[in-house]
């Protein structure tokens, strides 16, 4: 089994592709030890081949299963002498459609992965985070956490929950010297985004298409910024939060005019 051998370490969920994969690559380039976890075994195998077996530990993980998360953290802790510098709760799923036309089971699956998965991960990882000075719990929220978004209602609600948990934990975990922050990305090129949807993406403005590596850069920046709570990608998406607070009805009506699948 590979061993961190004193290197700083990051535990990444949803690591087999997209933002998680780019984060693993970036942190490996910086000399960190990587814990890569995902439901996609083939993707994890490919990532391990790229990073080098001595530089990472991989394991399949359904984040909605608490027992699986406990086992993944145990595997990671065995490789890092019980330390974890960053927990990156990144795994998530999205399904688009009208609330009344989507199956209730699919919508529960969104909650179980996007919300319960983040709760599972943080609860399981806390013993390791507590043992690591200046540890960071970093969560992937979404620009859809600024205002409830039509056609992704449950996904949007799940990311509101992640944002709220991050804000609450950022105060609660101070007593353990653990920091919390989140990313609120707009439109990111990942496997979760359909080619049809990408084809409609604007070329400029806050919802222009952003490469997944930009999220990885934010995770790195957050570890080195002890104060910043919310990281908007791109930064001008912060204006959505202000708009939602200042005039929610106006933003609601604007979203209604732009609503399309």
Instruction: Give the SS3 label for residue 212.
Output: coil
Query: Does residue 197 contact residue 217 with C-beta atoms inside 8 Å?
Result: no
Catalytic residue among 98, 155, 223, 232: 155
3-state helix, strand and coil shares in percent for the chain, rounded to the nearest 5: 50, 15, 30
Q: Are strands 210-211 and 178-185 parallel, antiparallel or unpaired?
A: unpaired
Query: Does residue 185 contact residue 238 with C-beta atoms inside 8 Å?
Result: no
Across-strand partners of 87? Answer: 11, 137
Place of tokens 């051998």: 5
Query: Does residue 97 contact residue 104 with C-beta atoms inside 8 Å?
Result: no
Helices within 81-194 (DSSP H only): 104-111, 117-130, 153-172
Cα four-point dihedral sign 141, 144, 147, 150? negative
Instruction: Give the SS3 label for residue 237.
Output: helix
H or E element at residue 56: strand 56-60
Eight-class DSSP state of 258: T
Active site residue 155: yes
Query: Does residue 232 contact residue 238 with C-beta atoms inside 8 Å?
Result: yes
Q: How far apart are CA 249 and CA 219, in angstroms?
A: 33
Active site residues: 155
């Amino acid at each position: 089994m590979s061993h961190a051998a004193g290197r700083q370490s990051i535990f990444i969920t949803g690591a087999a592709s997209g933002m998680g994969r780019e984060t693993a690559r970036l942190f490996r380039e910086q000399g960190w030890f990587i814990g890569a976890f995902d439901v996609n075994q083939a993707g994890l195998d490919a990532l391990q081949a790229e990073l080098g077996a001595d530089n990472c530990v991989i394991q399949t993980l359904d984040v909605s299963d608490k027992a699986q998360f406990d086992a993944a953290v145990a595997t990671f802790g065995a490789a890092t002498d019980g330390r974890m510098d960053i927990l990156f709760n990144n795994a998530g799923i999205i399904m688009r459609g009208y609330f009344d036309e989507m199956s209730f089971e699919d919508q529960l699956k969104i909650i179980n992965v996007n919300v319960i998965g983040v709760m599972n991960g943080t609860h399981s990882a806390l013993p390791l985070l507590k043992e690591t000075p200046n540890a960071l719990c970093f969560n992937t929220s979404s620009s859809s956490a600024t205002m409830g978004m039509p056609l992704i209602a449950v996904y949007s609600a799940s990311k509101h929950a992640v944002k709220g948990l991050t804000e609450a934990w950022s105060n609660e975990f101070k007593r353990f010297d653990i920091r919390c922050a989140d990313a609120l990305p707009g439109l990111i090129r990942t496997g979760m985004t359909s080619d049809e949807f990408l084809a409609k993406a604007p070329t400029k403005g806050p919802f222009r298409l952003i490469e997944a590596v930009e999220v990885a850069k934010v995770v790195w920046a957050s570890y080195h910024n002890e104060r910043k709570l919310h990281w908007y990608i791109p930064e001008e998406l912060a204006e959505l939060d202000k708009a939602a607070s200042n005039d929610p009805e106006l933003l609601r009506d604007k979203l209604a005019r732009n609503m399309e699948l």
